[in-house]
Amino acid sequence: MTTDSGPALVVSNMDVSYKVRGQDRRALKNVSFTVARGESYGLVGESGSGKSTVALALVRYLPRNGRVSAGTVSINGQDPLGMGKAELRELRAKTISMVYQEPGRALNPSLRVGEQIAEVFEIAGEKSDEATASAENMLRKVQISDPGRVMRRYPYELSGGMAQRVVIAMALAVSPSLLILDEPTTALDATVEAEVLDLVAALRQEFDTSVLFISHNLAVIAKMCDRVGVLYAGELVEEGPARQVFDDPRHPYTVGLLRCIPRRGQRKDRDRLDTIPGFLPGPGHNLAGCVFAPRCALARDRCRTEPPPFFDVGDLRTARCFFHEQAPDLPRATPASAAALATDGIGGPLVKIEKLSKTFPGGVQALAGVDLTVHRGETLGLVGESGSGKTTLARTLLGLTSADQGSVLTLDGKQLSADARRRPRDVLRALQIVFQNPDSALNRRHTVRSLISRPLSRLAGLSGTGLRDRLAELISSVRLEERHLALRPGQLSGGLKQRVAIARAFGARPDVVVCDEPTSALDVSVQAAILNLLADLQQQEHATYLFISHDLGLVRYLSDRIVVLYLGRVMEVGPAEVVFTGPHHPYTEALFSAVPSLDGQRPDRIKLEGEIPSAANPPSGCVFHTRCPRKLSTGVCESTEPPLLEGEPGHLIRCHIPLTELRTIQLSESVPSQGSSH
Partner 1 sequence: MTDIAGNAAPLEPGGPLGTLGPAGDMVTVATPVTAVPRSAWRLLLRRPTFIIGAVIIVFWVFCAIFGHAIAPYNPLEQQLLFNNTGPSSAHWFGTDTLGRDVLSRVLVGARDILVVTPLATILGTILGTALGLAMGYLGGPFDLVVGRFVEAVLALPAVIIAFLFIVALGPSTTTLIVVIGLIFTPLIARTVRAAVLTERNLDYLSSARLLGERPLRIMFREILPNVMPAILVEFTVRLGYAVFAVATLSFLGFGVQPPTPDWGSDIAADYSGLLAGYWWQVLFPALAIASLVTAVNLITDSIEQVLNS
Q: Which of residues 233-292 bind partner 1 (CB under 8 A)?
A: 279-280, 282-283
Nearer to partner 1, 449 or 488 (CB): 488
Distance, CA of 107 to CA of 164 (rounded, Å) = 10
Residues 384, 192: contact at Cβ < 8 Å?
Answer: no
Q: What residue type is 469 in one-letter code?
A: D
Subset of residues 207 to 226 that bind partner 1, contact rule: CB under 8 A? 215-216
Residues 452, 474: contact at Cβ < 8 Å?
Answer: yes
Residues 417, 424: contact at Cβ < 8 Å?
Answer: no
Sign of the dihedral through C-alpha 483, 485, 486, 491 = positive
Nearer to partner 1, 461 or 675 (CB): 461
Told to check if 440 binds partner 1 by CB under 8 A, we report yes
Nearer to partner 1, 422 or 678 (CB): 422
Among positions 47, 357, 402, 664, the unique one binding partner 1 when judged by CB under 8 A? 47
Q: Is 234 left (phi over 0), alpha (psi -120 to 50) or beta?
A: left
* Least gap, CB of 381 to partner 1 (angstroms): 21
Contact stretch for partner 1 (CB under 8 A) within 287-295, 375-383, 493-501, 649-657: 493-501
Strands 561-566 and 569-575: antiparallel
Among positions 36, 56, 133, 418, the unique one binding partner 1 when judged by CB under 8 A? 56
> Kind and range of the H or E element at 667?
helix 659-668
* Least gap, CB of 358 to partner 1 (angstroms): 16
Half-sphere exposure of 389 (CA within 13 A, CB side): 29
Q: From the DSSP assignment, how many helices (H) and strands (E) are in the chain?
A: 24, 23
Nearer to partner 1, 334 or 437 (CB): 437
The site string for partner 1 over 7-46 (x = CB under 8 A, - otherwise) reads -----------x-x----x-x------------------x
663-670: list long-range contacts, CB under 8 Å, 24+ apart: 663/582, 663/583, 665/630, 666/582, 666/583, 666/584, 666/589, 667/582, 667/583, 670/604
Among positions 261, 372, 383, 521, the unique one binding partner 1 when judged by CB under 8 A? 521
Residues 53, 43: contact at Cβ < 8 Å?
Answer: no
Give the residue among 14, 23, 22, 81 at the shortest CA–CA distance from 51.
14
Among positions 291, 526, 535, 632, the unique one binding partner 1 when judged by CB under 8 A? 526
Among positions 420, 467, 636, 644, the unique one binding partner 1 when judged by CB under 8 A? 420
* Least gap, CB of 445 to partner 1 (angstroms): 3
Give the residue among 12, 19, 33 at the shortest CA–CA distance from 67.
19
Among positions 7, 35, 42, 50, the unique one binding partner 1 when judged by CB under 8 A? 50
Contact stretch for partner 1 (CB under 8 A) within 140-148, 450-458, 461-469, 592-600: 450-458
Nearer to partner 1, 399 or 672 (CB): 399
Q: Is 129 left (phi over 0), alpha (psi -120 to 50) or beta?
A: alpha
Subset of residues 462 to 491 that bind partner 1, contact rule: CB under 8 A? 488-491
Among positions 523, 551, 589, 641, the unique one binding partner 1 when judged by CB under 8 A? 523
* Least gap, CB of 164 to partner 1 (angstroms): 13
Nearer to partner 1, 25 or 140 (CB): 25
Subset of residues 377 to 416 that bind partner 1, contact rule: CB under 8 A? 395, 398-400
* Least gap, CB of 120 to partner 1 (angstroms): 8
Subset of residues 597 to 626 that bind partner 1, contact rule: CB under 8 A? none
Subset of residues 337 to 376 that bind partner 1, contact rule: CB under 8 A? none
Nearer to partner 1, 147 or 294 (CB): 294
Give the residue among 144, 140, 183, 186 at the shortest CA–CA distance from 162.
144
Residues 602, 647: contact at Cβ < 8 Å?
Answer: no
Give backbone dihedrals phi and psi of 158, rounded to 5 degrees, phi first.
Answer: -100, 150
Among positions 266, 493, 593, 597, the unique one binding partner 1 when judged by CB under 8 A? 493
Subset of residues 67 to 126 that bind partner 1, contact rule: CB under 8 A? 92, 97-101, 105-108, 116
What is the three-state SS of 99-125? ECCCHHHHCCCCCCHHHHHHHHHHHCC
DSSP state of 275: -
What is the three-state SS of 551-579? CHHHHHHHCCEEEEEECCEEEEEEEHHHH
Nearer to partner 1, 112 or 663 (CB): 112
- DSSP letter for each residue of 148-171: HHHHTS-GGGS-HHHHHHHHHHHH
Contact stretch for partner 1 (CB under 8 A) within 57-65, 158-166, 570-578, 628-636: 57-65
* Least gap, CB of 327 to partner 1 (angstroms): 24
* Least gap, CB of 645 to partner 1 (angstroms): 36
Residues 380, 374: contact at Cβ < 8 Å?
Answer: yes
The site string for partner 1 over 151-190 (x = CB under 8 A, - otherwise) reads ----------------x--xx----------xx--x----
Distance, CA of 443 to CA of 159 (rounded, Å) = 31
Nearer to partner 1, 47 or 357 (CB): 47
